[in-house]
Amino acid sequence: MKYFKVIGLAVAFCLAMILTNTLICHAYEDTQCFKCHTSAKKLIEATREIAKTRPALKSAETSGEG
């Protein structure tokens, strides 16, 4: 009987760990950050929008080897 209890506890512990890990992964993958940054289509749209308003980042006057 004692062995059944120990085995039962071990199985319950493993199940809990697996479920927790799955939930964490799901929580992570469900964020807006992940959804957008893993979608090339969404990123192309966003970066095009940024490019319309964003000023130049590098000066055209730079010349020679750095």
Partner 1 sequence: MEPLAPHEKIFVDSDIVDDENHGEIACHECHGGNPDDPDWKTAHKDVVKDPTYPDATKACGDCHDEINENYPKSLHVSLRPYKIITDQRASSNAVIRNKLGCAMNAHCFQCHSSCGQCHISRPNSVEGGFLDGHLFQKTPPMQEVCTACHGSRIQKEYLGEHEGLLPSIHREKYMKCDKCHPGDEMHGDGKDYANRYEVENGPKCVKCHEEIYDRKAKNVIAHRIHKEKASCHVCHAQPYNNCSACHVGKDKQGLAFFKTKSSWVDFKIGLNPLKSEKRPEKFVTLRHVPADKRTFDFYVKDALSNFDTLPTWKLATPHNIRLKTPQNSNCNSCHGNESLFLLEKNVEDNEKGANKNVIVPVNLIPKKQKWQPK
Q: Which residues bind partner 1 (CB under 8 A)?
A: 21, 24-25, 27-29, 31-34, 36-38, 40, 43-44, 46-48, 50-51, 55-66
Contacts of 42 (CB under 8 A, 6+ apart): 35, 36
CA 54 to chain centre: 26
The nearer residue to partner 1, 11 or 29, going by C-beta atoms, is 29
Of residues 10 and 23, the one with the C-beta less far from partner 1: 23
CB of 19 to partner 1, least distance (A): 14
**Rounded CA gap, 5 and 1, in Å?**
6
